[in-house]
């Protein structure tokens, strides 16, 4: 129940006694609030943070984020794959050496004994008893193994493709995959930029909320002291102190939750920067300022370019499958030594030169099926790209709508904070004059605190919406090393 004019005389003495204390606590509260504002900027004095630490945090994330480094390795792997495909067009020189020791195996019989033994036996019979009698022995047939006991074959082989359309298509496939990996890395980098900005603005919102709650806590602490003094003087009942204590504890609980949120936001921001989770993070004064940003488009979204290169690779895969119907022609030359042992002489030297033609004439439709499969995959990717393009267009329009809504919410919050602060100023004067009940004063204080928090939230949501706009348009200027598409 509000206090009327009759009650003013009861509290006039107490009011005069506490006016100087109220002024002192207001000054202390202002000093603490200013210190907290300054401390949020200089919390990590050993780190030279610029006036806009967000730019430094973005640079840290783009240079050190572990997941982005994984994308760098994916680009490197695609580049090496392209280099390997190109190398297949060049001649290749190989050293092939073989030394064999054999025992057993298949053998064939030379009937040398069967051929000469009858003649020798006849001569032995005809010359028997004569002075010149012959004694030709009996010869056995000769067995020769197919495998020589020792054998070596050492040669240099030079091979070069003359006509191989499959190699050209494979190079184009690898080039498309390389370009696609760059676009994928750019898409990830832009997502990382959006996440860093969102985390930074969330941290700025939480820290600003903490400062507001700390100021509210000081106000409620003073209100609790006033209530205790009134009860001690017999001018108020115990319920006044209990209500003041309840309001103070409620703000204290919100402050505890806000500090937990601050730690979580800091840890997440450090995770994106690939830093230790306990490393302090500074937020610039005015981080939630609502300066207008330019709606700048950088061109086709990297997600669409990734699909474009995948479609290009699928088209070349279709041509690769079709080129299997054509023949291939290559040149192969060998030069080396052969024999049962290593020797450098005319008898051991061997050289060959060949033109090798390879042409598959019939395979029961395997090549035709592979070509149809590659064509279907290309059509699937084209349909996927159309769907993704529509989704990205809708996301861009939604980001624009959300930014407009956030701007309107900010204007409403600014109007609300002006009314709430003026209402609290009047409530303070009425309370000091003993013309306002405790409930009305607490309501005014709560309205001011909520209005201040709403303003901070509105500013943070607007900055987050603008970061989403920038992401939807791929407008953030990334380093050239992340968007370079020069084929190696």
Could you give the residue ranges of the DSSP H alpha helices within 234-365? 238-273, 302-323
Contact call for residues 372 and 420 (beta carbons, < 8 A): no
- Cβ 467 vs Cβ 405: under 8 Å: no
Look at residues 110, 172, 163, 165 and name the one whose alpha carbon lies nearest to residue 141. 110
- Among residues of the chain, what percentage have pLDDT more than 70? 87
pLDDT surpasses 80 at 446:
yes
Q: How far apart are CA 47 and CA 284, in angstroms?
A: 13
Least confident of 18-22, 147-151, 168-172, 195-199: 18-22
pLDDT of residue 38: 39
Which CATH fold would you assign to the domain 5-87+164-325+364-483? Outer membrane efflux proteins (OEP) (1.20.1600)
Q: How far apart are CA 192 and CA 388, in angstroms?
A: 20
Kindly report the average pLDDT of the chain as a whole number: 83
Q: Is the predicted pLDDT of residue 46 greater than 70, yes or no?
A: no
Residues in the chain: 488
d(CA 445, CA 430): 13
Percent of the chain with pLDDT over 90: 50
Q: Where do we find the tokens 């949020």?
A: 40
- Domain extents in the chain: 5-87+164-325+364-483
Average pLDDT over residues 382-403: 94
Q: What does the block give as tokens for 449?
A: 């605190």
Write the pLDDT tens digit of every residue in 1-34.
Answer: 333 333 333 333 333 433 444 444 444 344 334 3
DSSP secondary-structure letter at 295?
A: -
Mark residue 479 as left, alpha or beta (left: phi above 0; alpha: psi -120 to 50; beta: remaining): beta
Is-contact 156 336, C-beta < 8 A?
A: yes
pLDDT in tens, 413-442: 988 988 888 888 888 888 777 777 778 888
What would the pLDDT profile of 179-228 be if each residue is shown by its tens digit?
Answer: 999 999 999 999 999 999 999 999 999 999 999 999 888 988 888 888 88
Render pLDDT for 274-323 as a digit per residue (tens, 0 to 9): 999 888 888 887 778 766 555 666 668 999 999 999 999 999 999 999 99
Distance set, CA 152 to CA 20, 93, 348 (Å): 110, 20, 10
**What pLDDT does residue 34 have?**
38
Q: Is-contact 269 204, C-beta < 8 A?
A: no
User: Which pLDDT does position 40 carry in this prediction?
Assistant: 40
CA distance 301 to 389: 9
Within 10 angstroms of residue 359's Cβ, the number of other Cβ atoms is 9
CB 348 within 8 A of CB 338: yes
Which are the contacts of 356, defined by CB distance < 8 A and separation ≥ 6?
A: 329, 330, 331, 332
């Amino acid at each position: 129940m509000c206090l009327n004019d009759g009650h003013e005389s009861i509290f006039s003495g107490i009011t005069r006694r506490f006016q100087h204390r109220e002024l002192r606590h207001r000054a202390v509260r202002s000093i603490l609030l200013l210190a907290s504002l300054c401390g949020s900027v200089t919390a990590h004095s050993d780190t030279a943070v610029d006036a806009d630490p967000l730019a430094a945090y973005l640079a840290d994330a783009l240079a050190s984020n572990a997941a982005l480094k994984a994308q760098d390795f994916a680009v490197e792997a695609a580049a090496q794959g392209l280099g390997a495909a190109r190398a297949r067009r060049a001649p290749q020189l190989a050293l092939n050496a073989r030394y064999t020791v054999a025992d057993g195996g298949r053998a064939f019989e030379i009937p040398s004994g069967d051929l000469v033994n009858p003649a020798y036996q006849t001569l032995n019979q005809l010359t028997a008893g004569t002075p010149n009698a012959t004694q030709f022995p009996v010869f056995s047939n000769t067995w020769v193994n197919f495998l020589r006991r020792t054998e070596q074959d050492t040669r240099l082989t030079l091979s070069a493709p003359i006509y191989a359309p499959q190699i050209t298509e494979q190079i184009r496939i690898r080039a498309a995959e390389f370009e696609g990996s760059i676009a994928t890395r750019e898409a990830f980098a832009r997502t990382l930029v959006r996440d860093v900005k969102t985390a930074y603005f969330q941290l700025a919102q939480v820290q600003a909320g903490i400062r507001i709650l700390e100021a509210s806590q000081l106000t409620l602490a003073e209100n609790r002291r006033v209530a205790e003094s009134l009860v001690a003087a017999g001018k108020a009942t115990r319920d006044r102190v209990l209500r003041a204590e309840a309001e103070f504890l409620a703000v204290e609980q919100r402050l505890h939750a806000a500090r937990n949120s601050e730690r979580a936001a800091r840890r997440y921001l450090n995770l994106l920067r690939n830093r230790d989770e306990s490393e302090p993070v500074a937020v610039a004064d005015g981080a939630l300022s609502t300066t207008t940003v330019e709606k700048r488009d950088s061109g086709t979204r990297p997600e669409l370019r990734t699909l474009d290169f995948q479609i290009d690779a699928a088209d070349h895969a279709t041509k690769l499958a079709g080129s299997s119907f054509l023949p291939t022609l290559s040149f192969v030359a060998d030069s080396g030594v052969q024999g049962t042992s290593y020797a450098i002489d005319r008898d051991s030297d061997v050289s060959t030169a060949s033109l090798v033609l390879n042409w598959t004439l019939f395979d029961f439709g395997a090549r035709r099926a592979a070509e149809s499969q590659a064509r279907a995959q290309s059509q699937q990717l084209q349909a996927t790209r159309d769907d993704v393009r529509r989704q990205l267009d809708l996301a861009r329009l939604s980001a624009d709508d959300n930014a407009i809504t956030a701007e309107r919410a900010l204007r409403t919050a600014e109007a609300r904070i002006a009314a709430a602060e003026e209402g609290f100023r009047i409530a303070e004067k009425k309370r000091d004059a003993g013309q306002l009940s405790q409930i009305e004063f607490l309501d005014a204080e709560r309205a001011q605190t909520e209005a201040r928090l709403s303003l901070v939230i509105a500013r943070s949501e607007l900055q987050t919406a603008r970061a989403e706009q920038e992401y939807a348009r791929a407008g953030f200027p990334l380093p050239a090393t992340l968007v370079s598409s020069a084929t190696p």
